[in-house]
Amino acid sequence: DTGVSQNPRHKITKRGQNVTFRCDPISEHNRLYWYRQTLGQGPEFLTYFQNEAQLEKSRLLSDRFSAERPKGSFSTLEIQRTEQGDSAMYLCASSFPELGVYEQYFGPGTRLTVT
Amino acid sequence: AQSVTQLDSQVPVFEEAPVELRCNYSSSVSVYLFWYVQYPNQGLQLLLKYLSGSTLVKGINGFEAEFNKSQTSFHLRKPSVHISDTAEYFCAVIFVSGSARQLTFGSGTQLTVLP
């Protein structure tokens, strides 16, 4: 069990560019969550997958955001036409509530800076 | 409405002194409760969790928390803090309705341990 990994750790991009982040969850976990954390705030839920199915999206996830989890393994989060307001830490977490693992294990995050 | 409140944004305390970080929630459904710690530029690490059973739960690094259903609180305590405990602490709740089981976080408490 190597934990949750995220790549890249840091991303600087210019406004209007597209960016993609990757998350590799704990291999036995069937659920994968994406959160966004801005400076001085707690993380906020964006979306989650159960296996390969994206089952819920929050209102924070605008049309410029898309997430996938092909084959129920790793997941990608893409932001199109980035805006300065997208600057944040993007966190990925995994769990397996159906087996009683309700706690979520977090990756180190990807810090996005939009200039 | 379902919400999580951390009443203190910053808590300074001297080394070896006791500390309590407060967390209250508002909910009309059952809850699962968690405390996470975040060190600078890192992801979140689980300190402890309450799912059911004994209302006093012990976690890593000497931390413990008590679930008080009537007060809707889940305060975090440590009898003697160390410099290395300096970090941001987040209270998080799963409101057990629907299937998402996403975490709702408080805004965090910055614990600073002074020498």
Whether the Cβ atoms of residue A25 and residue A94 lie closer than 8 Å to each other:
yes
Lowest mean pLDDT among A16-25, A41-50, A93-102, B64-73: A93-102
Question: CB A43 to CB B44 under 8 A?
Answer: yes
Contact B45 A4 (CB under 8 A): no
CB nearest to B43's CB, from A33, A48, A107: A107
Measure CB to CB from residue A42 to each of B32, B99, B106 and give the nearest one: B106
Choose from A46, A102, A112 for mutation: most chain B CBs within 10 A. A102
Residue A75 tokens, joined: 């997941």
**Residues A53, A4, A36, B99, CA torsion sign:** positive
Q: Is the pLDDT of residue B78 over 80?
A: yes
Retrieve residue A38's tokens: 């801005």
Return the structure tokens found at B86: 């300096």
CB-CB under 8 Å, A33 with B103: yes
Distance from CA of A2 to the nearest CA of B (A): 14
State the Cα–Cα distance between residues A65 and B48, nearest whole angstrom: 32
Q: Mean pLDDT score of chain A, rounded to an integer? A: 93
Contact A33, B85 (CB under 8 A): no
Which member of A31, A97, A103 has the closest CB to residue B34? A103
The full 3-state SS of chain A, as one line of letters, equals: CCCCEEECCEEEECCCCCEEEEEECCCCCCEEEEEEECCCCCCEEEEEEECCEEEEECCCCCCCEEEECHHHCCEEEEECCCCHHHCEEEEEEEEEHHHCEEEEEECCCEEEEEC
Residue B63 and residue B77 in contact, taking contact as beta carbons nearer than 8 Å: yes
Q: How confident is the model at residue A109 (pLDDT cuts 50, 70, 90)?
A: very high
Which residues share a beta bridge with B108? none
- Which residues of B are less than 8 Å from A11 in CB distance? none
User: Which of A104, A59, A100 is closest to B93 using CA atoms?
Assistant: A104
Q: Closest partner residue to A48 among B42, B43, B100, by Cβ?
A: B100
d(Cα A58, Cα A93) in Å, to the nearest integer? 16
Strand pairing partners for A19? A79
pLDDT band at residue A1, thresholds of 50, 70 and 90? low
> What tens digit of pLDDT does each residue of A28-83 get?
899 999 999 998 899 999 999 999 999 989 988 889 999 999 988 999 999 999 99
pLDDT at A2: 76
User: Which residue, B21, B14, B54, B15, is CA-closest to B36?
Assistant: B21
Residue A111 Cα, gap to closest chain B Cα (Å): 8
Res B73: pLDDT: 97
Per-residue pLDDT tens for B16-67? 999 999 999 999 999 999 999 999 878 899 999 999 999 999 999 999 999 9
